[in-house]
A and B are shown apart, each in its own frame.
Chain A
Amino acid sequence: GQSLEQPSEVTAVEGAIVQINCTYQTSGFYGLSWYQQHDGGAPTFLSYNALDGLEETGRFSSFLSRSDSYGYLLLQELQMKDSASYFCAVSLNTPLVFGKGTRLSVIA
């Protein structure tokens, strides 16, 4: 089976940088994805890491280390609109399996 662990809540200040970690126990997965979900909305794709290392997409970056079974999402120049839940997910040869999500609160 697969399991992914994330912190349940993180609070950060507007304009700052925040890192959301994800550790996993799974075998034979293709990559690690990150999704964002605002209250009342559906999850939407943010980033995907197939290989170890850093992927950058604007203010968001994602990192994967397969040897450490670990990844993280890095959000820079935080804005109030970044307040949302963030899910890591593993990509297998099936629909995605998600962690329980991290609720990010951005405060002024």
Chain B
Amino acid sequence: EAQVTQNPRYLITVTGKKLTVTCSQNMNHEYMSWYRQDPGLGLRQIYYSMNVEVTDKGDVPEGYKVSRKEKRNFPLILESPSPNQTSLYFCASRSRGRGETQYFGPGTRLLVL
């Protein structure tokens, strides 16, 4: 089954404690991205990657890091989480091409105390 997986699905942490949210896709997609979703603000892009070892900032990259060492994985790293990073996070992937469908993971709900 074609899918994007994320872990963990839910996470409660404290300010300053480093965390990683994993993302993996099994569709051999070139493009992967991370979004955060907050009420009234829609889906805002954090970082994206167009292929292995190629990453770039989205609209809200501050406080986040990513890496793309393998095509299937695109982890999101919060080195020192703060309460304003409390949000719902989605990983997504799609194939290179003009009209290709973008597939989303199930989401990770993060609470930073």
A residues adjacent to B (C-beta < 8 A): 8, 30-31, 33, 35, 41-45, 48, 50, 87, 89, 91, 94-101
Residues of chain A within 8 A (CB-CB) of B43 are 43, 87, 98, 101
A95, B48: Cβ atoms under 8 Å?
yes
9 contacts between A and B (CB under 8 A): A42-B106, A42-B107, A43-B43, A94-B31, A94-B56, A95-B32, A95-B33, A95-B48, A98-B43
B42, A43: Cβ atoms under 8 Å?
no
Residues A95 and B102 in contact in the complex (CB < 8 Å), given A42-B90, A42-B107, A43-B90: yes
Return A38 CB to nearest CB of chain B, in Å.
12
B104, A43: Cβ atoms under 8 Å?
yes
CB-CB contacts below 8 Å: B68-98 with A = 90, 92, 94, 98
Question: Does B22 sit at the interface, judged by CB under 8 A?
Answer: no
B42, A95: Cβ atoms under 8 Å?
no
Residues of chain B within 8 A (CB-CB) of A101 are 42-43
Residues of chain A within 8 A (CB-CB) of B105 are 42
Return A73 CB to nearest CB of chain B, in Å.
15
14 new A-B contacts, CB < 8 A, other than A35-B102, A94-B50, A96-B102, are A30-B98, A31-B99, A33-B99, A33-B102, A43-B43, A94-B33, A95-B33, A96-B94, A98-B42, A98-B45, A99-B42, A100-B40, A100-B41, A100-B42
Return A44 CB to nearest CB of chain B, in Å.
7
A50, B42: Cβ atoms under 8 Å?
no
Residues of chain A within 8 A (CB-CB) of B32 are 95
Return B74 CB to nearest CB of chain A, in Å.
11
A48 to B98, CA, bound (A): 10
Residues A45 and B102 in contact in the complex (CB < 8 Å), given A94-B31, A94-B48, A95-B48: yes
Partner of B104, one of A31, A44, A94, A99: A44
B45, A95: Cβ atoms under 8 Å?
yes
Residues of chain B within 8 A (CB-CB) of A94 are 31, 33, 48, 50, 56
